Amino acid sequence: MAAPDSSSQAESFKAFLMKSDQNLYEHLTHLLTKVMDERPDDALDVFEEMSRAVKQDAFRDVQTTLRDVSDPPDVEQLAEKQLQLFNPTGVSVQEKELVGSVLPNLNEVAFFLEQAGVGLGQEETQKIYLALKHLVESKSLTHCRLWGKILGRERNYIIVEAEYRDDEEEEEEQEEQGAEGAEEEEEINPVSLSTYKPPR
């Protein structure tokens, strides 16, 4: 009868050790396994340090507040690309006036598109305006016009008509303006005719 009593006592001790949240039974099991694996010469002296190490190993995975580093989602990548639209560029006042005259009145275009039942929305209209402004500033465009939006399977496309001014055309225009300016000066200040008459 002594055997069943010792067996029941062992079960009750084991139940007592497993009763707490931190589970003393598993801690002691891991600690004794570590002692058997490492077999330190002074096991009694390093017992507390090993116990502390076992506790830290057990809670390292459970209590971490760090998140796994993952690739940024598509929304963040899109936001980074669109951030360039909102950064002001170093443009002079004259260039701003030129850009303003080249850009279409997108509020009016958005109104007409909305009346047709294909409105873009205020946010998208603002992004389109900023993109067109960036395009006009970066390229030397003489004309810019919004045609609309094409909804595709994989991507949507904004269609814009623009006239591009080449450097050669600018030089030709400047030469023409210079020639016209010289002709106008001649018309304004005509060359005086000679009144000299040779003797006979």
- Per-residue pLDDT of 56-106, as tens digits, reads 876 666 556 666 667 777 778 777 877 777 776 655 555 555 555 678 788
Conformational region of residue 131, where left means phi above 0, alpha means psi within -120 to 50, and beta covers everything else: alpha
- Please report whether residue 161 resides in a domain: yes
Q: Does 41 share its domain with 95?
A: no
Contacts 24+ apart (CB under 8 A), 115-119: 118/148, 118/149
Q: Does 159 share its domain with 90?
A: yes
Q: Does 100 share its domain with 144?
A: yes
- Please report whether residue 197 resides in a domain: no
How many residues does this entry show for the chain?
A: 200
- Please report whether residue 48 resides in a domain: yes
Q: Does 103 share its domain with 154?
A: yes
Q: Does 54 share its domain with 120?
A: no
- Please report whether residue 103 resides in a domain: yes
Q: Does 52 share its domain with 95?
A: no
Q: Does 89 share its domain with 160?
A: yes
What's the structural domain count of the chain? Answer: 2
- Please report whether residue 174 resides in a domain: no
- What residues make up the domain containing 100? 83-167
Q: ∠ at Cα 52 (57, 40), nearest 5°?
A: 95
What's the confidence (pLDDT) of residue 1? 43
Tell me: the pLDDT tens digits for 24-42? Answer: 777 788 888 888 888 888 8
- Please report whether residue 14 resides in a domain: yes
pTM over 0.85: no
Confidence of residue 13 (pLDDT cuts 50, 70, 90): low
- Please report whether residue 2 resides in a domain: no
Q: Does 141 share its domain with 103?
A: yes
Q: Does 106 share its domain with 40?
A: no
- Higher-confidence position of 154 and 95: 154
- Please report whether residue 194 resides in a domain: no
Closest CA to 145 of 159, 164, 160, 165: 160
Residue 181 has pLDDT above 70, yes or no: no
DSSP three-state, residue 145 = strand
- What is the residue type of 28? L
Q: Does 97 share its domain with 147?
A: yes
Residues 6+ apart with CB under 8 A from 144: 102, 103, 104, 132, 135, 136, 160, 161, 162, 163
Closest CA to 108 of 125, 91, 124: 125
